[in-house]
């Protein structure tokens, strides 16, 4: 087992190395002006880190990502469970959910800015509205799959509602919550950048817009890479260990 694990780790690192080599090769072939090499981008990240600009914009973007992530997870979970629980509500709202899934992110963003104003609330609202339908669909599926037989155990033994929720109900929803969280994080940060580009004067998306107008490719790559690395770190050091911990019982 141990050798197998370390072998897969070697391959994982090799794949990152390969990406760097390809990037460098492509940069030589295309010329530095079109595609700056990894070294130039790394230097730029260092400089932007040193001046404090990159951390400031990263923090703002990350804050928006977290706020809309938490809101979408909460609203989507409650709505998904409610739809699974009450079929009549489901028939009423199912069409809206499908509609919500298919409205382009751009439309929600533009309409939120027009109706609510060019402010922080509109930005977070737009991202939340984009993500919520996918959470609803996943959690509705999860709530429908809940084992009624286990809930009956809680009923027969008069387990208090709070404890039943924590120990009987939510553990069954956990795989669906985790799936929603992982796909959610990947989707949300992409939408947040668009939201920032269209109507905010700070954040990674705003900076990318600026670099686009200046044709500053090194800047674009530096900010993108910095943020992508941050998301990969959250996934690898927060979500995946959490999942392992919570599904320990699956042997």
Partner 1 sequence: MTGLRLQGVCKRYGSTPVLGGLDLSLAPGELVCLVGPSGCGKSTLLRLIAGLDRDYSGHIEAGTRLGMVFQAPRLMPWLNALDNVRLVLPAGEEGRRRARTALESVGLGEQLAAYPGQLSGGQQRRVALARAYAVEPQLLLLDEPFVSLDAPSAQRLRELLLLWWRASRATVLFVTHDLDEALGLADRIVFLGGRPARTVLELSLTAPRPRPPELRAQLQRDLLARHPHLLSGQANSGG
Residue 104 φ then ψ, to 5°: -60, 140
Helix ranges restricted to H, the chain: 2-30, 38-51, 53-85, 87-102, 105-116, 120-144, 148-156, 161-164, 170-199, 204-214, 217-234, 240-246
Residue 88 touching partner 1 (CB under 8 A): no
Among 106, 110, 159, 210, contact with partner 1 (rule: CB under 8 A): 159
The contacts of residue 62 (CB under 8 Å, 6+ apart) are: 230
8 Å CB contact between 193 and 130: no
Residue 245 touching partner 1 (CB under 8 A): no
Least separation in angstroms between CB 156 and partner 1: 5
Residue 89 touching partner 1 (CB under 8 A): no
Region of residue 103 (left: phi > 0; alpha: psi -120 to 50; beta: else): beta
Q: Which two tokens stand for residue 96?
A: 């809206």
CA distance 203 to 215: 18
Least separation in angstroms between CB 242 and partner 1: 14
Q: Which of residues 59-78 bind partner 1 (CB under 8 A)?
A: none
Of the ranges 40-48, 150-158, 214-222, 235-243, which one interacts with partner 1 (CB under 8 A)? 150-158
Of the ranges 8-16, 47-55, 59-67, 152-160, which one interacts with partner 1 (CB under 8 A)? 152-160
Residue 175 touching partner 1 (CB under 8 A): no
Of the ranges 43-51, 77-85, 163-171, 203-211, which one interacts with partner 1 (CB under 8 A)? 163-171
Residue 153 touching partner 1 (CB under 8 A): yes
Q: Which residues bind partner 1 (CB under 8 A)?
A: 149-150, 152-159, 163, 167-168, 171, 247, 249-251
């Amino acid at each position: 087992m141990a050798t197998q694990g370390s072998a897969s780790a070697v391959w994982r690192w090799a794949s990152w190395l390969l990406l760097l080599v390809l990037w460098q090769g492509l940069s030589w072939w295309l010329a530095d002006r079109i595609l700056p090499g990894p070294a130039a981008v790394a230097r730029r990240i260092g400089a932007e880190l040193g001046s404090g600009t990159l951390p400031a914009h990263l923090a703002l973007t990350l804050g928006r990502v977290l706020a809309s992530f938490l809101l979408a997870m909460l609203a989507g979970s409650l709505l998904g469970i409610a739809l699974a629980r009450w079929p009549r509500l489901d028939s009423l709202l199912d069409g809206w959910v499908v509609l919500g899934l298919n409205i382009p992110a751009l439309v929600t963003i533009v309409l939120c800015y027009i109706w609510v104003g060019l402010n922080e609330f509109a930005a977070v609202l737009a991202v939340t509205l984009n993500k919520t339908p996918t959470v609803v669909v996943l959690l509705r599926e999860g709530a429908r799959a809940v084992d009624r037989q286990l809930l009956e155990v809680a009923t027969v033994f008069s387990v208090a509602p709070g404890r039943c929720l924590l120990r009987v109900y939510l553990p069954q929803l956990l795989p669906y919550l985790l799936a929603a969280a992982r796909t959610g994080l990947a989707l949300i940060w992409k939408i947040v950048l668009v939201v920032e580009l269209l109507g905010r004067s700070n954040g990674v998306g705003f900076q990318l817009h600026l670099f686009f107008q200046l044709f500053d490719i090194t800047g674009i790559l530096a900010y993108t890479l910095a943020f992508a690395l941050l998301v990969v770190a959250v996934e690898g050091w927060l979500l995946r260990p959490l999942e392992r911990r919570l599904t320990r019982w699956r042997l």
